[in-house]
Amino acid sequence: MLLSLFLFPPQASTNAPEVDALYLFLVALCGLTALGVITAMTFFAIRYRRTPENVVGHDIHGSTALEIFWTAIPFLILMFVFAWGASLYFKLSRPPEDAMEVFVVGRQWMWKIQHMEGRREINALHVPVGRPIKLTMTSEDVIHSFYIPAFRVKADVVPGRYTTLWFQPTKPGEYHLFCAEYCGTEHSRMGGSVIVMQPAEYEAWLAGTQTAGGGTPSSGLTPVQLGRKLFVEKACATCHLNTPGGVGPVLVGIYGRQVELATGATVKVDEAYVRESILTPMAKVVKGFPPAMPTFGGQLTEEQVMSLIAYVKSLSDGGDAAAPAPHSGAAPAAPTAPGAPAN
Partner 1 sequence: MQTSEAKKVNYLSAQHTVASWLLTIDHKRIAILYLVSITVMFLIGGLMAAAIRAELLTPAGDLMGSDTYNKAFTLHGIVMVFFFLIPSIPATLGNFLVPLMIGAKDLAFPRINLLSWYIYMVGATIGIVATVTGGLDTGWTLYTPYSTAYATTNVVMPAIGLFITGFSSILTGLNFIVTIHKMRAPGMTWFRLPLFIWAQYATSIVMILATPVIAITVLMVAIDRGLGLGIFDPKAGGDPVLFQHLFWFYSHPAVYIMILPAMGVISEVIPCFSKKRIFGYNFIAASSLSIAIIGFFVWGHHLFTTPQSMYAAMAFSIITFAVAVPSAVKTFNWTATMYRGSVSFEAPMIYAFGFMGLFLVGGLTGLFLGALGLDLHVHDTYFVVAHFHYIMVGGAIMAYMAGLHFWWPKMTGRMYPEGPAKAAALLIFVGFNLTFFPQFLAGYAGMPRRYHYYPPEFQIFNVLSTAGSSILALGYLLPLGYLLWSLRYGRAAGRNPWGATGLEWMIDSPPSPHNFDETPVVTWEPYDYPDAHRRTAEHAASEAARV
Chain positions 258 to 287 lying near ligand HEC, rule: CB under 6 A, are: 259, 274, 277-278, 281, 285-286
Among positions 301-330, residues that touch ligand HEC (CB under 6 A) are 308, 312
Among positions 42-71, residues that touch partner 1 (CB under 8 A) are 44-45, 48-51, 54-63, 66-67, 70-71
The minimum distance between CB 172 and partner 1, in angstroms, equals 19
* Residue number with CB closer to ligand HEC (201 or 233): 233
> CA nearest 237: which of 338, 323, 299, 304?
323
Determine if 40 is a binding residue for partner 1 (CB under 8 A). yes
Tell me which H or E stretch contains 15: helix 15-47
> CA nearest 242: which of 145, 331, 137, 316?
316
* Residue number with CB closer to Cu ion (165 or 179): 179
Determine if 342 is a binding residue for partner 1 (CB under 8 A). no
> CA nearest 137: which of 114, 105, 107?
105
CB 235 within 8 A of CB 261: no
One of 19, 239, 252, 272 touching ligand HEC (CB under 6 A): 239
The minimum distance between CB 223 and ligand HEC, in angstroms, equals 13
Handedness of CA 67, 70, 76, 82 (dihedral sign): negative
Residue 341 binding: pick among Cu ion, partner 1, ligand HEC, none (C-beta 5-8 Å cut-off by kind): none
**What DSSP character marks residue 168?**
-
Which regions of 140-182 does DSSP assign to beta strands (E)?
144-148, 153-157, 163-167, 173-179
* Residue number with CB closer to ligand HEC (15 or 136): 136
Instruction: Give Cα separations from 187 to 76, 106, 108, 149, 289 (angstroms).
Output: 41, 12, 8, 17, 45
One of 234, 252, 272, 334 touching ligand HEC (CB under 6 A): 234
Determine if 84 is a binding residue for ligand HEC (CB under 6 A). no
Instruction: Give Cα separations from 157 to 106, 142, 169, 175 (angstroms).
Output: 7, 8, 21, 20
Where along the sequence are the contacts to ligand HEC (CB under 6 A)?
Answer: 234-236, 238-240, 247-249, 251, 254, 259, 274, 277-278, 281, 285-286, 289-294, 296, 308, 312
